[in-house]
Structure 1
Amino acid sequence: MLSIGEFSKICKVSTKTLRYYEEIGLVNPDGINAKTGYRYYSIGQLKKMIFINRLKSYNFSLDEIKAILELEEDQAEEKLCSAFNKKKREIEEKLSDFEYTLKQISNDILNLEKGIPIMSYLDDIEVQLIETKGQNILYMRKSMSSYDYAEGYGKYFSKLYEKIATEKLTLVDKPMTIYHSPEYNPAGNDTEFAIPIKEVVKGTRDLAGGLCAKSVLKGSYSELTSVFAKLREWVENEGYELVNSPYEIYLTNPYEIKVPEENITEVYFPVKKK
């Protein structure tokens, strides 16, 4: 048996962390001295602790790790493989975002060295005034926090596409997101996921057409804030006002592109003249 101190040294985990793991039921000591309260761990638990450390290095949360450890033996291998693949995709997305950020900051440095203001790129964002046609959309409306967006986009669009396939509905355009909240709320924003289809069925509604200020983003979704800001500035300067919720249309599938620069997103602000 190993004392908690010996166990912590070998596994490179503090005794405070081990006590917390015991508190949440992740790793319990094999024995506790009734008189002294000293914790002891078996040699066999070293393997479990090393496995936990590996999962942590893959950015699994403690809740996710606990769920993995509780898997039934006959399901463990398949579900672990699935969890690893999902985590791998998450890491690849983060790596891609970091690569994009690195390019962005390198470009900012070059511009600063040339005396070009960092925010001058906003002047290059083009805005068009167009007339859109009304559409019949299959939709799901949810309250989404900023932490939910990455997973939510895939989850809710997948459910909509599944319904389209199951009921043999007809796609007529690209997926879109409509933002209904009057202001940003970190706790949750009124967000509608929608896909235009031909048939009028349960779960569809009309999306009105009309005059819109439109801009196109070619690049990372992180730049959408700049496009929204440019559109809002244009609407104000040109004497228009918003009459409905802004929305985005995704011309590219984020799971099929290789780099963020290949993303193409259209942004629409429904407007009328003041």
Structure 2
Amino acid sequence: MIKIGEFSKLVQVSVPTLRYYDQVGLLKPVEVDTVTGYRYYAASQLPKMHRILALKGLGFSLEQIAAVLSEGLTPEQMRGMLRLRHAQIGQQIAEMQAQLGEVEMRLGYIEREEQIATYDVILKPVEPLLVASVRAILPNHSASGSLFGEVYDAICPHVAKALGPNPGQGGQTMVLWYDTEFKERDVDGAAAFLLRCRVPERGRMRVHELPAATMASTVHHGSYNTIGDAHTAVLVWIEANGYRIVGPDREVYLYNKAPIHLDDPTYVTEIQYPVEKVS
């Protein structure tokens, strides 16, 4: 007979683990001293111990290993278990690869441009939104601010109910960009106000519902002059994570104050891109 310490060295399994295997009935010693409680094993148990270690190395649970040892398995049953384990490992690898991609992407941010790395991009569901907007071809992106006055003037007769409860604060505003590629000039954009109810259309102002969407989103704390960094961060994330853009992107103005200054560092803007997973 072999003392538990010596058996532990032979099979390279710790004594506490051997005691646990005894407790759960996986591998019981051939004899236990009734006085000292000391466990003894036999050389004939080595093959069983090696099989336990082999199955454990494949990732099987102790419950599964116990079933194999007690009931025995036909070759076909063993193949089935191994195929199932193969699928489980494949899924785990896929999940870990996705996490690895996220880590590599963030490392890339830091290596390429420290500023972009400060943006945290998340996926979020956005419900349908009723808006009043004016859409136009603008000389550049900064010119979108000129459209807000036109939208507000069109809403003005109904502003108390449409933008309440604090219409004096100007209501929730956003810009939508419809171009499918980056353009410096002649950009297709719309200035919009979020509505609490429908109002009559007037002039170029249209009332419509923005559809529900899954958004790749980040928040930009800073001036409108530097908002391009936030757009870049979201676009990099979309490509790196296997998504595609499925509609106009939005700049939702969470905080600003009139008169608008493009270089005001206190502004807070959420950048949203509607996306779907590439199949």
TM-score normalized by structure 1? Answer: 0.52
Counterpart position of 1:250: 253
Flag as ranges the 4+ runs of structure 1 deviating above 4 A.
256-259
Counterpart position of 1:141: 135
> Structure 1 residues 210, 185: closer, same or farther in 2, change over 3 A?
closer
**Alpha-carbon distance in 1 for matches of 2:185, 2:230:** 23
**Alpha-carbon distance in 2 for matches of 1:144, 1:166:** 27
Which digits, 9 at most, give the CA deviation of each residue in 1:105-140, with x for residues without a partner?
xxxxxxxxxxx9782121121111100010111010
| Number of positions where the alignment pairs a residue of Structure 1 with one of Structure 2 | 156
> Structure 1 residues 183, 128: closer, same or farther in 2, change over 3 A?
same
2:216 corresponds to 1:213: yes
Counterpart position of 1:171: 163
Counterpart position of 2:26: none
Equivalent of 2:124 in 130, 142, 164: 130
* 1:149 match: secondary structure: helix
Letter in 1 for 2:132: L
**Alpha-carbon distance in 2 for matches of 1:257, 1:185:** 23
**Alpha-carbon distance in 2 for matches of 1:194, 1:261:** 23
Letter in 2 for 1:268: Q
Alignment RMSD (CA, Å): 2.3
Counterpart position of 2:183: 185
Equivalent of 1:272 in 254, 271, 276: 276
Letter in 2 for 1:270: P
TM-score normalized by structure 2? Answer: 0.51
**Alpha-carbon distance in 2 for matches of 1:144, 1:273:** 31
Q: Any stretches of 5+ residues in structure 2 without a counterpart?
A: 1-109, 165-170
* 1:123 match: secondary structure: helix
Letter in 1 for 2:163: L
Letter in 2 for 1:265: T
Letter in 1 for 2:249: P
**Alpha-carbon distance in 1 for matches of 2:184, 2:221:** 26
**Identity within the alignment, %:** 22
2:267 corresponds to 1:263: yes
* 1:191 match: secondary structure: strand
Task: Name which of structure 1's ranges 167-176 and 184-193 shifts more when overlaid on structure 2.
Answer: 167-176
The CA deviation at 1:162 is: 2.1
* 1:251 match: secondary structure: strand
Letter in 2 for 1:238: N
> Structure 1 residues 198, 260: closer, same or farther in 2, change over 3 A?
same
**Alpha-carbon distance in 1 for matches of 2:182, 2:217:** 21
Which digits, 9 at most, give the CA deviation of each residue in 1:16-39, with x for residues without a partner?
xxxxxxxxxxxxxxxxxxxxxxxx
**Alpha-carbon distance in 2 for matches of 1:117, 1:239:** 21
Equivalent of 2:150 in 142, 159, 169: 159
The CA deviation at 1:184 is: 3.2
**Alpha-carbon distance in 1 for matches of 2:234, 2:226:** 13
Q: Any stretches of 5+ residues in structure 1 without a counterpart?
A: 1-115
**Alpha-carbon distance in 1 for matches of 2:235, 2:179:** 16
Counterpart position of 1:231: 234
Contact 1:257-1:263 at 8 Å conserved across structures: no
Counterpart position of 1:108: none
**Alpha-carbon distance in 1 for matches of 2:136, 2:241:** 33
* 1:143 match: secondary structure: strand
**Alpha-carbon distance in 1 for matches of 2:178, 2:260:** 28
